[in-house]
Amino acid sequence: MQENFAVLVVRLLEKAEKILKEYPLCNSCLGRLFARHGVGLGNYERGLMVKTLLAMKLHNDYAKGVADRDSLKVLAAHAGDGIASMYRKLFSEDVAVDSCYLCGGKLGRELVERIAGDVCVKLKEYGASKFLIGVTISNEVLGKELELIIKHGVESSESIKREIKREVGKAVMALCNATPQFSSPEVVLIVNLDSTFNYEISVQSNPLFYAGRYRKLGRRISHIPWYTETGVKKYPLSVQEAVERVFKKIFEAEEVVIHAAGREDVDTRMVGSGRPVIVEVKSPRRRGVDVDALRLLVEGELRSLNVPVELRITSTASRGLVTLIKEHSKRKRKTYRVVIYSQEGIEVSELKRLEEFFENREVRQRTPLRILRCKKDRVRARKVYTVKTLQVSDKVFEALVLCEGGLYVKELVHCDDGRTTPCFAGILGKALIPIELDVIYVEE
C-alpha cells in the first residue's frame, strides 16, 4: 500500500514538473489538474502541496547533480512560492514569477469572494434564498486548459468552470446564509467571465406556481386576450389579463400565465365554486409571499380593478401540476346551468321526458360547427349523468346538466345540425335555443 502511494507521488511530481517547465501556473490552476487526488482539499491547497513537494524533490535533485541552475530558474519563474524561495536561497538571486498561463493570476480567494458578494446582492434583490450558480468562461481560457490537459495526458483534472461554481457557491453560503438547490432553485445566477476574468452576473428567476380557483361573473369575457385578424381586440377583458395585472404588480414579474382545467366560452359565466387553475409567475423579482397573505392581496387587487373576475389562491403548486390539471380536466365532471328557449312552447311532461332520457346517457358529438375552423373534425363520446329541469315560463326552461368534461352543452341543446346525438331538440322534436349558460361546478 505504501509502495503504491509512493509510486503515485513520484508520478504526480514528475507530471507536475513537466507541466511547470512549459507553463506558469498558480496554485489553483495547478491543483485543479490533480483534483482527483486528495478528498476534501481545495485546489489552491492541493496546488500548494504539489509545489512544496516538488521543491523538496528539486532540492534533492540539485544536491545530487541531477538538476541544473537553468532548469530550476525556469521552474521557479513558473511555479513561484516554495520553488522560487528555494532558488533565491541557493543562488542569492530573485526570480520574477510569471503570471498564470490559464487565469493570469486572477483566480483566487479575492475574486471568489467578490463574485459571492455580488451574488448575495442579487439574491437580496430577488428575495431568494435557494440558488444555483452557473459559469460561462471565455473560449480562449477553455481552449488553453484543454490544450494543456491533452498535451500532457492529464487524467485527474476538473474544469475551471466547475471549480469556480463550487467555490462561489460555498462562499455565497457562508456570506449570506443562502442554500444551494440543484433540483429546484429559486434563481440561477450565471457568472460570465471573459479572458481577463472580468465578469458580469445574469439572473434567471425561476417561475412561481400557485393553485386556486377562479370565477368569471360576467359574460363577453374571454379566457385569454382575443384579437381579430386585423389586430383589433375583440373583447374588452380576459381572465388572463385580469390575473396577469394583479400578479405582475405583486411579484414584479415579467409575465404571468394561467393554466386552467379547461375553459368556458366567452358568453358563459364561471360561477359556483370556480374553475381550478394554476397561475405561473415568470421571472419574478419578488418572492417569499405567504400563501394566506397572497390570497388577501390578490382578492383585494382584483376588487380594486372593478372587474367581474375573482380568484382565490389555495396553495403553492409546481410545474408538474400544470400537466396534471390539464390532462385530468378532459374527463372531470362538470355541472352546467343552461336557460333554453322554445318558440313552440314547452310542457312539463316534455321536461320530464328529458330528465328520464338523459339519465346516464352517452352522447356522441362531432366537432361543433362554430369551432370547426380551429379544431379538427372528429367524433367524441361523452357521458351525461343527469339532467334536472325547471319551467320558467311557457317558452323558457332551465336545465342543470351534470356531465363528463369535454361535452359541448350548447350543442347538446340544439343538435348542431345533427352533429350531436342524442340531443334535447331531437328528443322533443322541436327547435331549442340556449340563451344563457353558466358553469356552476368543476370537479377537483
256, 282 in Cβ contact below 8 A?
yes
Query: What value does the CA radius of gyration of the chain take, rounded to a whole number of Å?
Result: 36
Find the helix packing angle between 291-305 and 239-251, rounded to 10°: 120
| Rounded Cα gap, residues 8 and 306, in angstroms | 76
317, 210 in Cβ contact below 8 A?
yes
For 418-444, what is the HEC assignment?
A: CCEECCHHHHHCCCCEEEEEEEEEECC
Phi, psi of 363 (to 5 degrees): -120, 135
Terminal CA-to-CA distance of the chain, rounded, Å? 65
Quote the cell numbers at residue 320: 408538474
**Catalytic, out of 61, 98, 118, 265:** 265
DSSP state letters, 23-68? ----HHHHHHHTTTSSTT--HHHHHHHHHHHHHHHHHHHHHTTSS-
Residue 265 a catalytic site member: yes
SS3 of 113, please? helix
Quote the cell numbers at residue 34: 490533480
193, 209 in Cβ contact below 8 A?
no
DSSP state letters, 358-412? TTTEEEEEEPPGGGTTTS---EEEEEEEEEEEEE-SSSEEEEEEEEETT--HHHH
226, 232 in Cβ contact below 8 A?
no
- Sign of the C-alpha dihedral computed for residues 298, 302, 305 and 309 taken in this order: positive
Quote the cell numbers at residue 322: 400544470
CA angle at residue 110 from 197 to 143, to 5 degrees? 30
| Rounded Cα gap, residues 444 and 137, in angstroms | 48
Phi, psi of 4 (to 5 degrees): -60, -40
The one-letter amino acid at 56: M
Of 53, 65, 206, 230, the residue nearest 127 (C-alpha): 206
Task: Just list the catalytic residues.
Answer: 265
